[in-house]
């Protein structure tokens, strides 16, 4: 019996368990044995795994997070880790591996393929929706639904207290969550990493709105948004294993600046990991399920080095190198729609 491994790496994400369940169910139907590698690439370095059968994936569909655990461990950080990983791939007698992750996890997969661990297929995951070559990643739909509900709830307080509320959402390099939840929640200004913040412009929009009789406003800001060049405002810079800055705090800075410049009472609400937690939406469960099934089909067809993807309403497969080459930033057509409602 050929053995398939599956791992989930990077930030946890609603819908991961639907992929695991689909890989196990489809894998068994096709006659494969499935093992779950624990905690992303870390599990393959440490040979930490668990056998997955139909019982292990029973009842996990509505659960958030990942039953396999995750980590941001990068095996390319340490030569010895990489050697251990390669050795364990052999020792565990893996015929193929399904790597479920975002740009970092799949970037490692692409490098491993080049380094001779060829039998890998990728499944795109991230609430940020910033992976190329796929229209959507699972997790994003859940995140924007949570963020939209939060914006709705924050409207209540903003309106009753005549305040401005700055809502900080996730979105490291791309403002998909901010733009989408901002449109759905009726934000009055949306700030994203793709467009440097001009704080004067933000304040003018808010003042314009208040001049026409509105006494409250909602500003949605993506955590990765940055001020225009020349700004004196600085952010703390702690790095993770992939060299990414640990974000968070831009909402606070925007709130202080807006209050100072407009004189309107301002509060901030940082949604943080709430956006990544809890049960996935039906859309994310279905997408994760379709991705998982396709991943096993690719293995069966020996189509390695591919990433499953959504194109329109079809599940396709794309070159994993293409998918990890550059990030998919916000479509300006969508952002321009949001802008019609600013101020
Ligand atoms: O990769 C998804 C993401 O949620 C980003 O939006 C965010 O910047 C990052 O993960 C936060 O990572 P951590 O959970 O390690 O703080």
Tens-place pLDDT, residues 57-110: 999 999 999 999 999 999 999 999 999 999 999 999 999 999 999 999 999 999
pLDDT score for 241: 73
Query: Relative to the CA of 102, which ligand 1 atom is closest?
Result: 1
pLDDT score for 26: 98
Residue 321: Cβ within 10 Å count: 17
Euclidean distance between CA atoms 188 and 101, whole angstroms: 33
Provide mean pLDDT across the span 119-144. 98
| Count of positions (residues) in the chain | 343
Angle between helical axes of 250-262 and 199-211 (0-180°, round to 10): 50
Task: Tell which CATH architecture fits domain 3-139+280-325.
Answer: 3-Layer(aba) Sandwich (3.40)
Query: Relative to the CA of 170, which ligand 1 atom is closest?
Result: 6
Examine the pLDDT at 126 and tell me if it is beyond 90: yes
Q: Domain residue spans in the chain?
A: 3-139+280-325, 141-276
pLDDT score for 214: 97
Provide mean pLDDT across the span 304-318. 98
pLDDT score for 240: 74
Examine the pLDDT at 233 and tell me if it is beyond 60: no
Mutate to test the pocket of ligand 1, among 170, 240, 251, 330 (most ligand atoms within 8 A of CB): 170
Q: What is the pLDDT of residues 21-51, one digit of tens each?
A: 999 999 999 999 999 999 999 999 999 999 9
Closest CA to 222 of 281, 172, 282: 172
Query: Relative to the CA of 10, which ligand 1 atom is closest?
Result: 1
C-alpha 294, offset from chain centre: 20
Q: For Cα atoms 286, 106, 18, give the angle at the middle one, nearest 5 degrees.
A: 20
Examine the pLDDT at 236 and tell me if it is beyond 80: no
The answer to whether residues 127 and 139 touch, using CB atoms and an 8 Å cutoff, is yes
β strands within the chain, DSSP E:
3-8, 33-37, 49-52, 96-101, 120-124, 164-169, 189-191, 217-222, 266-270, 306-311, 314-319
33-37 and 49-52 beta bridge pairing: antiparallel
Does residue 152 have an active-site annotation? no
Examine the pLDDT at 288 and tell me if it is beyond 80: yes
Confidence at 229, pLDDT banded by 50, 70, 90: confident
The yes-or-no answer to whether 3-139+280-325 and 141-276 have a common fold is yes
Provide mean pLDDT across the span 232-259. 78
Q: What is the pTM of this model?
A: 0.95
Pocket of ligand 1 (CB under 6 A): 10-11, 102, 126-128, 170-172, 223, 246-247, 276
Q: What is the mean pLDDT of the chain?
A: 96
Please tell me the distance between residue 138's alpha carbon and the centre of ligand 1 in angstroms.
15
Closest CA to 198 of 174, 162, 223, 229: 229
Euclidean distance between CA atoms 250 and 257, whole angstroms: 11
pLDDT score for 242: 75
- The CATH homologous superfamily for domain 141-276 is Phosphofructokinase domain (3.40.50.460)
Instruction: Choose the catalytic residue: 12, 104, 128, 284.
Output: 128
Percent of the chain at pLDDT exceeding 70: 97
Euclidean distance between CA atoms 264 and 84, whole angstroms: 57
Examine the pLDDT at 235 and tell me if it is beyond 60: no
Euclidean distance between CA atoms 23 and 15, whole angstroms: 13
Q: What is the pLDDT of residues 181-228, one digit of tens each?
A: 999 999 999 999 999 999 999 999 999 999 999 999 999 999 999 999
């Amino acid at each position: 019996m050929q053995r398939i491994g599956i791992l989930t790496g990077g930030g946890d994400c609603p819908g991961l368990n639907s992929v695991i369940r689909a890989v196990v169910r489809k894998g068994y139907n096709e006659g494969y044995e499935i093992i779950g590698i624990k905690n992303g690439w870390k599990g393959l370095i440490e040979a930490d795994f668990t056998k997955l059968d139909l019982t292990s994936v029973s009842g996990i569909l509505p659960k958030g997070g990942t039953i396999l655990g995750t980590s941001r461990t990068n095996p390319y950080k340490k030569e010895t880790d990489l050697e251990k990983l390669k050795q364990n791939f052999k020792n565990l007698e893996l015929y193929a591996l399904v790597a479920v992750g975002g740009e970092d996890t799949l970037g490692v997969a692409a490098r491993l393929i080049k380094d001779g661990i060829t039998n890998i297929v990728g499944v795109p995951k991230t609430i940020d929706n910033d992976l190329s070559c796929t229209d959507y990643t699972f997790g994003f739909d859940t995140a924007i639904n949570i963020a939209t509900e939060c914006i709705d709830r924050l409207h209540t307080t903003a309106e009753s207290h005549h305040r401005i509320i700055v809502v900080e959402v996730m979105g490291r390099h791309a403002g998909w969550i901010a733009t989408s939840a901002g449109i759905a929640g009726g934000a009055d200004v949306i700030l994203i990493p793709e467009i440097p913040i001009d704080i004067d412009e933000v304040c003018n929009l808010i003042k314009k709105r208040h001049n026409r009789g509105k006494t409250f406003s909602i500003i949605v800001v993506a955590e990765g948004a940055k001020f225009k060049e020349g700004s004196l405002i600085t952010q703390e810079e702690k790095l993770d294993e992939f060299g990414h800055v640990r974000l968070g705090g831009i909402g606070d800075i925007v709130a202080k600046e807006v209050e100072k410049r407009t004189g309107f009472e301002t509060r901030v609400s940082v949604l943080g990991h709430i956006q990544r937690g809890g049960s996935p939406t039906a859309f994310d469960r279905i997408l994760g399920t379709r991705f998982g099934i396709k991943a096993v089909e690719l293995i069966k067809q020996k189509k390695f080095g591919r990433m499953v993807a959504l194109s329109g309403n079809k599940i396709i497969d794309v070159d994993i190198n293409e998918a990890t080459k550059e990030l998919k930033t916000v479509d300006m057509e969508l952002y321009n729609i949001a802008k019609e409602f600013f101020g």
